[in-house]
Chain A
Amino acid sequence: MPLIGALPQPITSAPLVILIYAVLLLMVASALASVLLRSTVIATGAFAATMVLVALLYLTIAPFLLFAVQLLVFTTVSAALLVGVLRRTTGLESTQEPFSREWIVGTAATAAVLALLVVILASTSWPVRPVNAGAGLGATLTNTYVVGLAVLVVILASAALGGGLLLAAPTPARPRGR
């Protein structure tokens, strides 16, 4: 079936371009902060900020429904799960870790992965072809991916239920001297 649609164009509107650049920079920066900071609580906050920034990115380049789901469902459930587990485990304690051999190995592995991705990105000429605007995202999900959507709802409901139970449970008393 031939594709009928408009050739996708890059975004050229100056305010939108500036917004997207800012969102991308902040997204990577907050992700870095999340994995580099020693405090698990602050890392969790930076992780939530990253998820919100990804939602903002979706707002600019994807259907609104994806932005809403990312912001209201994925971010909320993930944050609830993380906060619930932190309340039941280390709480506000800092997980101090000195720079160690794992950091050197991790940095090397990350540099290798990033270099590979950059080489692929730079050496590949992605073909651009017309995209059929088609139905909206809601219609695509409810017509084309019905079973997937049902499974997704069950999975998300289970995760949300678990997060709610974790948040509702009383915080365990800490042993003396900890």
Chain B
Amino acid sequence: MNVGLNLVLAASAALFAVGAFAVVARRSAVLMLIGTQFMFMAGSIAFVAFARFGLGAVNATAGAAVAIFVGATAVAELAVGLAMAALIYREHRSLAVDADRG
């Protein structure tokens, strides 16, 4: 038994699917944002796995560098998204993204 590229990519795909489910199925803005975080994390894991197990473009640390940039982007997206969720809550006393439909 060993750990190679395919195992980590499979876990990454599963995490991405969980995030997609949250974005499509949940109405709470917070849970949808958590779903997008999972999708960002899945992408980061795939980059790191490719760099670690054989597809590093320049060197082995390139994947980790991309993962750091992706993580920062995800945090920034979370900050902006949560600010929007707080505004939705202030207007409609609900975190549901379709709260304005009445």
Contact = CB atoms under 8 A, between A and B. Distances in A.
A43 B67 CA distance: 24
Interface in B54-73: 54-56, 58-65, 67-69, 71-73
B89 A11 contact: no
Interface-central residue, B38, B78, B79, B85, by most chain A CB under 10 Å = B79
A112 B9 CA distance: 17
B67 to A, nearest CB: 6
Contacts of A86: 30
Interface in A135-157: 135-137, 140-141, 144-145, 148, 152, 155-156
A132 B58 contact: yes
Interface in A11-68: 11-12, 14, 16-17, 20-21, 24, 27-28, 31-32, 34-35, 40, 43-44, 47, 50-51, 54, 57-58, 61-63, 65-66
Contacts of B16: 113, 117
Interface string A81-106: 11011101110000101000011011
Given A132-B56, A145-B69, 10 more contacts: A24-B11, A35-B21, A62-B67, A95-B28, A102-B24, A126-B5, A126-B50, A134-B58, A137-B61, A137-B68
Contacts, number: 244
A24 to B, nearest CB: 4
Given A102-B26, A106-B26, A141-B65, A27 B17 contact: no
Interface of A: 5, 7-8, 10-12, 14, 16-17, 20-21, 24, 27-28, 31-32, 34-35, 40, 43-44, 47, 50-51, 54, 57-58, 61-63, 65-66, 69-70, 73-74, 77-78, 81-82, 84-86, 88-90, 95, 97, 102-103, 105-107, 109-111, 113-114, 117-118, 121, 126-129, 131-137, 140-141, 144-145, 148, 152, 155-156, 158-159, 162-163
Contacts of A118: 10, 13
B13 A17 contact: no
A43 to B, nearest CB: 6
A interface secondary structure, majority: helix
Given A8-B53, A89-B89, A35 B34 contact: yes
Given A114-B17, A137-B61, A27 B72 contact: no
Contact of A132 (B8, B14, B60): B60
Contact of A74 (B6, B26, B71): B71
